[in-house]
Each structure stands twice: as structure tokens, then as C-alpha cells.
Amino acid sequence: MTTSRRDFLKTGAAAAGLAALPGIARAAAGSREFVLSAGHFEQALAPDGPMTDFWAFNRSVPGPELRFRKGDRVKVVVNNDLSGIDTTVHWHGLRVPNAMDGVPYVTQYPIKPGEMYSYEYEVKDSGTFWYHPHQISFEQVPRGLYGPLIVEEDAPIEVDREVVWVLSDVRVDAKGRQINDFGRILDIANDGRLGNVVLVNGQQAGEKVALAVRSGERMRLRLINAASARIFRLRLAGHTLHAVALDGQAIKPRELETVDLGPGMRVDLVVDFMAAPGSEHKVLDVDRRSRGQIARVSYLDDAPLRDKPLGAPMQLAANDLPEPDVAKAIDHYIVFEGGMRGSPVIGMIDGKPTNIQEIMEKEKLAWTMNFSAQHEHALLHDPLLYVRKGDHVVLRLINQTDFAHPMHLHGHFFRVVGVDGRPVVEQDWRDTVLMAPRQSVDVAFVADNLGEWMFHCHILEHAAGGMMGTIAVE
């Protein structure tokens, strides 16, 4: 039994499937000018639950999905309607001009309450991306200021339906109100601040989050980890998951048993739902800090859409990225130290000699990059390194800590070329790489985007606690 994608989308079964999942507001179709208004907002985490206070874009958590086509020139006007709070917007994964990167005191001044800022850029790459503030991001992101950004390919792969899941978490009290305990040294110096409620598209994760599917359906599932610290490890028993893109960049379709997502990371999956009509299956988070069930896949009772999978998933067309040549690359080493169970080796903080015994209590810094640390977006700072435009660069990231760190580079993509000093076979393009505790990772890129670019841990408390720096491309 076969049917076309167009015929399937006309059926009530498809509509039911879309309605069952927490939705994401979408910007007007065909528009290339958008307005994002950051303001205060309340939203229930569950249909029968209390209201939770959020800071949100356009009165929704997550914020509206921005959907572009590769090559579009776009303008996004950001209004700051927050009370007494500065903000910015960073376009995570997009290769934008440096002035449009949304980093306070590096690429722009913060947007003051009552003011606006226009971001204008060309969309160079197709893929799954997202947006969020870079101003006090360890608080503004978990309070709800984030949203998906999708750039469509010129020739999409064949699927029956596409679904976007934005994964995050929030820390609330018994009345559903957000707990105002941001920036604690215990969170900064450990795994980061974990919420006590996991969210899927702004709704409380668990068995009540139902992804309704029809047997035989092929789906593209775009996953975005917008949590400030939580690492997800997802599993869907009885189903074959094929990754077709990592951090928005095409890969040869690869079967995964589990899907690992550090903060800031994305993965595009193609899933053939071939179980029996009427059956149900749990989507589980099996990370060591697991919150258990994330959602359930609920098969409709309708007759199967088709009786066998469509075949191997198509490979996405690759974006045009400059290929690094490791043989002629300039090698740089970045050593990461610190944490609650470690001893930060710090000689300088924000460019000044510092008494090591006071760093955690007084400075609220717990992490170092090459033996120094700086406060989040310090006005006076020196880049970690300077490179010239066109340089081929290899960064050897040496994690001397007992913690994982998802390291994110702005303005560029890099290939992961080595782990613990050994070359890797699948040298994927990424913009965020998850370093395991006591692990080294080698990444290679071409420094082709002029400007000063953030390089930081995307566990946002770690970034605020010293694991944040810049790479200057001159």
C-alpha cells in the first residue's frame, strides 16, 4: 500500500498527529521580515497545571519558528519589552556577519528595555538552527527566551511529515512559579543548573506528550537541545533512527541506537514508523541524570500508510563549507580546568592577577581556558587566539575536568578530526562538540569569517563561570 505525501497530508490522520504534539507558533509564511518581542508571559506547562512565569519571544515558549530558504536575505527586528532587563539575540549555528552575531560588548551593545535592534543577514546554510540571547544567557534562556530556526533545502528529502521538537527544562516550585536561584556557585562549578521539569515544545514532558503517527509513515524529526545544562540521551525502542544531519550539516545517513544531545546541539532524524496500528511506544531519556519518559509515540488505528519502509533515507545535499586541510593547519591548544571537584589553575581573571582561594566565593568563577578566566562578556578581555582570514586551524581541546562540556564556536563550522589523539573515521561537521570528562578532542576549520567570535561551553553556567572566550579572525 502506497500513497503520496500530498495525499497523506490531506488525511484526518495527519491532522490528528499534528494536533497531538505540543505545537510551535510559526511566523507568517513567505515573509522575510520578522519581529521578535522579548517580554513577560505566563504559560501552563500542562493542560491542567498552574501558570508558570516566563520571559518569552512573541508570548510563546518556545518562541516562534523562523523558517527561511537557503540564500534568503532576512531582517529580524528585536523589541525589548522586558522590565529593567537588557537582552540580545544570537543566531546559533548561522554563519552571519560578525556585527549580527548578537554578543553583548563584543559585536553590539545590549538592547535596553524599550529599545529595538535590527539584525540583517543572508542565510548561507540549510539546516536546523535556533536563536537565544547571549546576555546573561544562564538566566534568560531557562526563563524561556529561545526558539527554533529552520532553513529549508532546495531539494528536500522524501518524507511524509516533518516535526520539530525543542527540548529544554525549567525549575519551578510547587505552585508552578520559576525558582529565582540563577547563578549559584554550586551550579556554576558542577553540572550546571538543571530544571526539575523537562519540556517538549514548552509542555511538560512525559506520557501526556503524544506524537500521533500512522503505521508506515516516514517522518523527519528535527531535535534541538535548548536547555541551559541538561544533556539528553534519547531512545525509542523498536524503531530504527537514522540521523541525516548534525548541527544542521548533512551526513551520510547513519543508524543510531541512542541520540545524544548536549546543550546547543541539534540532530535531524528520519524515522519509519512501522509498528502495529494502535500500539504505543515510549521515548526515553537514558542519560545518567535521566528524567525518564520524554513522550510517547501513539499509533493511530487507521490502516497502514504503507506495508514496508520507503528504503534507505536520502542523503541531504551538503552546504558549501570551506574544507580544512589538517596537513597545513596551524595547531592551537586550549586546556580546560576547574570545577567543584577540581583545582582551577588561574593566574589571571579579566586580565588581573587573582587570589585563587577567592575565585569561587568572591568572583563566582570556577573554570579556566588556558589558565585564565573572564566574567561573561567582560568589557576588557583578550582573545584566546588570533588567526588570519583564510588560515586553516586545528584546535586541540584538552578537558582536564571531571565534567562534560559542549563547546560551541560562533561564525564557523568545524570538522571533528580526532578524539584522545586518534583520528576519527566519521569527521562530521559541527558547531558544538561534546567533550567527555578527561577527554581531548581535535577540531579543524578554515577561519574565513572576519571578526571576533565567541568560543564557549554551552552549559551556560560554565560559560558564566569562566569557560568563555573569543577567537579573533583578522
Strands 161-170 and 217-225, by their bridges, are parallel
Rounded to a whole number of angstroms, the CA Rg of the chain reads 22
CB 373 within 8 A of CB 362: no
Burial class (CB in 10 A: 0-12, 13-18, 19+), 357: exposed
Alpha-helical (H) ranges within 180-233 are: 185-188
Burial class (CB in 10 A: 0-12, 13-18, 19+), 411: buried
Q: What's the one-letter identity of residue 321?
A: L
The pLDDT assigned to 255 comes to 95
CB 397 within 8 A of CB 440: yes
Which residue in 71, 87, 95 sits closest to 453, CA to CA?
95
DSSP string, 13-39: HHHHHHHHSPP--BPPTT-SEEEEEEE
The pLDDT assigned to 355 comes to 56
The pLDDT assigned to 28 comes to 60
CB 279 within 8 A of CB 288: no
pLDDT tens-place values along the chain, 474 residues long? 333 444 434 444 444 444 456 667 766 655 688 999 999 999 999 988 999 999 999 999 999 999 999 999 999 999 999 999 999 999 999 999 999 999 999 999 999 999 999 999 999 999 999 999 999 999 999 999 999 999 999 888 999 999 999 999 999 999 999 999 999 999 999 999 999 999 999 999 999 999 999 999 999 999 999 999 999 999 998 999 999 999 999 999 999 999 999 999 999 999 999 999 999 999 999 998 777 999 999 999 999 999 998 888 889 999 999 999 999 999 999 999 988 866 555 556 666 666 555 666 667 888 989 988 877 776 657 899 999 999 999 999 999 999 999 999 999 999 999 999 999 999 999 999 999 999 999 999 999 999 999 999 999 999 999 999 999 999
CB 316 within 8 A of CB 154: no
Angle CA(165)–CA(167)–CA(168) in degrees, nearest 5?
150
Q: What's the one-letter identity of residue 221?
A: L
- pTM, rounded to two decimals: 0.93
| Spatial separation of the C-alpha atoms in residues 172 and 300, rounded to whole Å | 34
The pLDDT assigned to 30 comes to 56
Domains and CATH numbers, the chain: 18-153 (2.60.40.420), 165-299 (2.60.40.420), 326-473 (2.60.40.420)
User: What's phi and psi for 140, nearest 5 deg?
Assistant: -70, -35
The pLDDT assigned to 18 comes to 41
- Which cell numbers in the block locate residue 89? 539575540
User: Tell me, what DSSP letter sits at residue 466?
Assistant: T
Helices and strands of the chain, counted as H and E runs: 5, 35
Task: Tell me how far CA of residue 141 lies from CA of 16, 83, 324, 341, in angstroms.
Answer: 31, 16, 33, 26
Which residue in 428, 408, 62 sits closest to 251, CA to CA?
428
The pLDDT assigned to 12 comes to 41
Which residue in 167, 117, 119 sits closest to 142, CA to CA?
167
